[in-house]
Structure 1
């Protein structure tokens, strides 16, 4: 068990942090939601009712979709785009999908390679892009969930104000939907751009997201 925890500590630590943050968000969101209901003179709801509400769902989904968009775009963009001196970039001369020999794909797969890495045809092609595909799928599903939950939450506010609700396609074209969406996107893009350029000149000793402390600023694709 200790060996399992040590060898998977990064995933386990962030998985636990995610759960704790989600619980914290739920508790804080519930308190805020009930305060709004009290202000409007409406009956407050219990914690489980809040967890099943569209308000909680849209707050969670809008953050998930922006995170998965960030990873999908970063994974895909770094195939072709490079940043001189950044450990977040591949070496400048390796821009592109690289050869089968470099990727140990197809007939170049060895005994320890995943089975589909050595398979020709569509299965090998899908597996060679499976990380980006799954991240894109998670993004699209969470964005769809955001739009559906956002429509319900928006219509609930409309009804409280004695105004007509709107349909899903109207909400997707609304300022509320795009304000929620773009405020998350811009922060994700800024974070990626900052990480790419700051890691050229700054160091974090022992981190694979940083170059070794003594590595020159123009060393590219070198991890500490």
Structure 2
């Protein structure tokens, strides 16, 4: 579904990605792992069009996204949940969700999608009329995921959803990502520093180190590789 070839990207004089090649199969969870500074967030920002690559290509179902405007990438079915969620704290839960599907013309369809998010994340249903500023960290991350899903994306890019959250909340969010693939057929590209949690739900894992791919294996194979885990994942 997603093909990244020879991707080089960075910020000013800093090169964060140095020729990344990777593939993401439709209906799968692919985890991107690595230490801070490995290039994980830069990879997601480049795929979603927030950062233009210096060279290389990003293709979705064979369509080149490399120079496409962000809004076109969204309409093609790509949603990006940034690190720390990025919910609008001055809006209610309900309005944050509606905002996620605002670009869609089918108003009835949007209402159905919002209702589905309340079923997927019951705590949001209980707090639908509360400001996002009043939510806990875990609830804000649920809202960030739900807002992205309201637009009906085929490919969901999720950046560090476990950041700062309790283990029980992390387990719940990871289970939702797995369910999105198994039951809804969505595709997830998951950037995560909590490698153990990510590997527990991923089909495949890619390890980045200083902007380069050092491993690309089935998640179970990578989890069983003591050398790679100790060298790059810290467990």
- Tell me which structure has the larger Cα radius of gyration: 1
Instruction: Using structure 1 for the length normalisation, give the TM-score.
Output: 0.26
TM-score normalised to the size of structure 2?
0.26
Q: By percentage of residues, which structure has more helix?
A: 1
> Which structure shows the higher strand fraction?
2
